[in-house]
Homo-oligomer: A and B are copies of this chain.
Amino acid sequence: MEPHTFLLQLLIILVAARVVGELVATLGAPSVIGELLAGIIIGPSLLAWVEPNEPIRVLAEIGVILLLFEVGLETDMGKLLNVGRKATMVALGGFITPFLFGYGVTYFLFQQSMLVSLFVGGTLTATSIGITVRTLTDVHRQNSPEGQITLGAAVLDDLFGVILLAILYEFSMTGEINWINTFKVLAYISIFFLTAPVLAKLMSSVIGKLDKRIDNPGLIPVTIVSLVLFFAWLAHLFGAPELLGGFAAGLALSRRFFLPFGLTVKTDTAFARKIESQMKPIVQLFTPIFFVMIGLSLDLRQVDWGSWFFWGMSLTLAIVAIGSKFAGALLIAEPFPRRIVVGMAMVPRGEVGLIFAGLGSAAGVIRGDMYTSLIMVIAYTTLLSPFWIKLYYRRFGRFT
Contact = CB atoms under 8 A, between A and B. Distances in A.
A218 B61 contact: no
Nearest to A226: B14
A139 interface: no
Contacts of A10: 62, 229
A225 B22 contact: no
Contact of A221 (B8, B217, B221, B282): B282
A244 to B, nearest CB: 13
Interface string A263-284: 0000000000000001111101
A229 B14 contact: yes
A232 B4 contact: yes
A284 B222 contact: yes
Contacts of A153: none
Interface in A374-395: none
Contacts of A18: 219, 222-223, 226
Given A15-B226, A278-B281, A7 B232 contact: yes
Interface residues of A: mostly helix, strand, loop or mixed?
helix
A134 to B, nearest CB: 11
A332 to B, nearest CB: 31
Contacts of A281: 218, 220-221, 278-279, 281-282
B221 A285 contact: yes
A233 B9 CA distance: 10
A233 B285 contact: no
A4 B282 contact: no
A3 B57 contact: yes
Contacts of A233: 4, 7-8, 11
Given A4-B242, A7-B229, A222 B58 contact: no
Contact of A229 (B11, B61, B218, B223): B11
Contacts of A6: 58, 61
Interface residues of A, number: 50
A17 interface: yes
A284 B221 contact: yes
Nearest to A17: B222
A271 to B, nearest CB: 15
Contacts of A282: 221, 281-282, 285
Interface in A212-262: 214, 216-223, 225-226, 229-230, 232-233, 236, 242
A21 interface: yes
A288 B222 CA distance: 9
B58 A217 contact: no
A6 B59 CA distance: 10
Contacts of A217: 280, 284
B14 A225 contact: yes
A242 to B, nearest CB: 6
> What are the 5 closest A-B residue pairs judged by CB atoms, nearest first?
A218-B284, A221-B281, A3-B61, A11-B229, A4-B236
27 contacts: A3-B242, A4-B233, A4-B242, A6-B61, A7-B62, A7-B232, A7-B233, A8-B229, A8-B233, A10-B62, A10-B229, A11-B230, A14-B226, A14-B229, A15-B226, A22-B216, A25-B216, A55-B59, A217-B284, A218-B287, A221-B285, A222-B288, A225-B285, A281-B281, A281-B282, A282-B282, A282-B285
Given A6-B58, A6-B61, A220-B281, 13 more contacts: A3-B242, A4-B232, A7-B61, A7-B65, A7-B233, A7-B236, A7-B242, A15-B226, A22-B216, A218-B285, A221-B281, A221-B285, A282-B285
Interface of A: 1, 3-4, 6-8, 10-11, 14-15, 17-18, 21-22, 25, 31, 54-55, 57-59, 61-62, 65, 214, 216-223, 225-226, 229-230, 232-233, 236, 242, 278-282, 284-285, 287-288
